[in-house]
Structure 1
Amino acid sequence: MWFEAGIRYRIEEGGDPSGKTPIAGPARVEAADLEHYAARRRLRIGQDGAKAYLAIGNEYGIRGDIAFCQAIYETRWLSANRVVPLAANLLPDLWSLKGRDELWTERFIEEHIRLLYRFSKDSELPLRKTPDDENSSARVQRIEELGYRGKVRFWEELSGKWSYFGVHYGQDIVAIWRSLEIWAGIRKERMERDKEKPADGQVMPSLVQG
């Protein structure tokens, strides 16, 4: 795949020397920013969906903010009547036609995070807090049968392993996250400037004549 051909990525602050983006690790974007980003793009993420991604991701040591970006990437395609055929070399599609009504429930989000855990970590899966769905064991087993357990450490390496979006699948998800992170930083700066502005009718103390 092209990401293995010596191409280097922009290294994020504190990131991996390869320049790729680790699946495991702490989130860097807050839930409020995730919610605002989705709302501005009219993406339905369910009540407290962003908070759940960060909380559950934190419990598993998975970057919940980027997992959230994967979810909005996938559900955006669902809105365009996305139908992904299953194949022997890919794990069962998490965002398949069945179960779309619960795409942003804690049960679904934990299932998503657990799959990312299985891809990126070799240690045993923690006990889950929400009920399994009928395909949970099959998904995990398929990842192990394909030799992916703990071997897919970076988002960019999900390309060709998670879904049918081509070799840029993981890169596209990271691109969404980088855009969101930049947007969140600009939003925070704007909010800080607004706090420093005097209220209507008030005069800055430095401008008052003594």
Structure 2
Amino acid sequence: MKLYLDPGHGGTDPGAQGNGLNEKDVTLDIALKLRSILTNSYEDIEIKMSRSADITKSLSERTSEANNWGANYFLAIHINAAGGSAEGYEDYIYSGLSDSSTTAKYQEIIHGEVIKMNQLKDRGRKKANFHVLRESAMDALLSENGFIDNPNDAALMKQDSWRQAVAQGHANGIASAFNLKRKANNPPEPANPGTGTLYKVIAGSFQSRENANERVAFLGAKGIDAFVNPTIISGKTWYRVQAGAYSNCDNAEEQVAVLKQAGIADAFIAAENSSPAQVAAAVDSILGPTRLSAEQMNSFVKTVNPDALELGSFYQEFGEYYGIRGDIAFAQALHETNYFRFTGIVRSVQNNYAGIGATGADHPGASFADPKEGVLAQFQHLFAYASTAPLPPQYPLVDPRFQLVERGSAPKWTDLNGKWAVPGKTYGQSILDLYERMVNSTV
């Protein structure tokens, strides 16, 4: 099935405007989310977008492209406006078609699925002589997803979870109308907005929208679709460059790897609509890729301790070498040292960021020659707990307690409870909670 996906307006044409929003931005975000859902979740679907960035494209260019490509279906995503009083959702097919046409049957199916998800008043299924409906050679639908100049509808449009739900509704409709087969090991998406976890791939975050636009253009030149998603963090607006959103964390990690190969070293994953338990379930394994960059780790600790050592590069380096989640190991060090303030029994001069061997005031634990060696010891100690494999040979063994660990006895962070710390009944959970705060505060 070949779907031509057309987010309305773009570039010099902002579309409808109201309540601080531009139609072109909302439609693009919904369309990109829709593409991610369909390509990640279903087999035998090809998607071509009229635009995947903020560019200008005429109506005739859009329909000609869809016709020449041989699309099976044309779906245009739009937002309405009507003076501020109107509200709700409606969709359109070409006015020259009968109610018994295949196009009308598709409209009925998609309309019903979108209404289940979008929290909008149902304004019904309609017909119109719109260019994209008239000039497209295939079945076509244009959806109008709320009124941008209505304060109630606009308040929903400003919520990322709502835009995700609208995309999901369209995806459910497309899948039902065209009998798409769900990919193996890909469970159905949540039935309602606000449930489940969405893993957004962020390819950079900037305080300048111009810089964010430059990153989008850079990625576009490398064949990677991305868009700017303004995000408010600690009262400040940051312009995140989003390069995908996935319901499966493994798929998000694959996209991060693609971005890093393209030269985007600061790519990371932001999990949304997740509870602490969901985050813990997604990241509880000690072994795995480091998602946050060194800069992001350093920035986070300095929000609490401005004088903290900048050790993020060591956690990134050793995380990659040992195959250990370096960003969560960094959270463990913050937990052990009180954000590198060393208010417990271990002193800063020991360079012991994991409390290795520390059992009390008379036994403050091991000391290491410098900060890098101290971080190395922490990773070797984690490797001993998480794996039964031989220690990789590049670095010398500096962990004095490596041989005392029951190898492979703690593959998860929560398995460290009562082992790394005694009694430590919630030791792993505390680390994961701290890591969640790191992710949620990451710009």
TM category (shorter chain) comes to: 0.5 to 0.7
Give 2:269's aligned residue: none
Give 1:19's aligned residue: 281
Code of the residue aligned with 1:99 in structure 2: it is: S
> How many residue pairs are counted as aligned between the two chains?
157
Q: Any idea what SS the aligned residue of 1:59 has?
A: helix
Tell me how far 1:97 sits from its aligned partner. 5.1
Please point out which of 150, 161, 167 is paired with 2:425: 167
Please point out which of 332, 336, 358 is paired with 1:93: 358
In 2, Cα distance between the equivalents of 1:71 and 1:37? Answer: 13
Change (3 A) 1:110 1:160: same
Runs of 4+ with deviation above 3 angstroms: 10-13, 93-98
Q: CA RMSD in A?
A: 3.0
Kept after mapping to 2: 8 A contact 1:34/1:50 = yes
- Please tell me whether residue 74 in structure 1 is matched to residue 339 in structure 2: no
In 1, Cα distance between the equivalents of 2:373 and 2:335? Answer: 19
Unaligned runs of 5+ in 2: 1-195, 200-247, 251-277, 347-355
CA deviation map 1:22-81 (0-9, x unaligned): 00000111111111111110165424x101101111100000000011011111186323
Kept after mapping to 1: 8 A contact 2:318/2:326 = yes
Change (3 A) 1:107 1:79: closer
In 1, Cα distance between the equivalents of 2:384 and 2:307? Answer: 27
In 1, Cα distance between the equivalents of 2:428 and 2:319? Answer: 18
- Please tell me whether residue 153 in structure 1 is matched to residue 406 in structure 2: no
Give 1:177's aligned residue: 435
Larger RCO: 1 or 2 (CA < 8 Å, sep 6+): 1
Give 1:87's aligned residue: none
Code of the residue aligned with 1:38 in structure 2: it is: V
In 1, Cα distance between the equivalents of 2:402 and 2:374? Answer: 14
Tell me how far 1:114 sits from its aligned partner. 0.8
In 2, Cα distance between the equivalents of 1:27 and 1:115? Answer: 17
Unaligned runs of 5+ in 1: 1-9, 84-90, 188-210
Kept after mapping to 2: 8 A contact 1:69/1:177 = yes
TM-score by length of 2: 0.32
The structure that has the greater radius of gyration is 2
Change (3 A) 1:43 1:97: farther
Q: Any idea what SS the aligned residue of 1:25 has?
A: coil
Larger helix fraction of residues: 1
Q: Any idea what SS the aligned residue of 1:19 has?
A: helix
In 2, Cα distance between the equivalents of 1:98 and 1:92? Answer: 6
Kept after mapping to 1: 8 A contact 2:322/2:383 = yes
Give 1:36's aligned residue: 299
TM-score by length of 1: 0.64
Kept after mapping to 1: 8 A contact 2:380/2:397 = no
In 2, Cα distance between the equivalents of 1:142 and 1:98? Answer: 14
> How does 1:45-60 map onto structure 2 within 5 Å?
45-47=308-310, 49-60=311-322
Kept after mapping to 2: 8 A contact 1:52/1:109 = yes
Give 1:205's aligned residue: none
Kept after mapping to 1: 8 A contact 2:315/2:326 = yes
Identity %: 25
Please point out which of 104, 113, 119 is paired with 2:379: 113
Tell me how far 1:96 sits from its aligned partner. 3.3
Kept after mapping to 2: 8 A contact 1:159/1:166 = yes
Give 1:6's aligned residue: none
Code of the residue aligned with 1:39 in structure 2: it is: K
Give 2:389's aligned residue: 123
Larger strand fraction of residues: 2
Tell me how far 1:141 sits from its aligned partner. 1.5
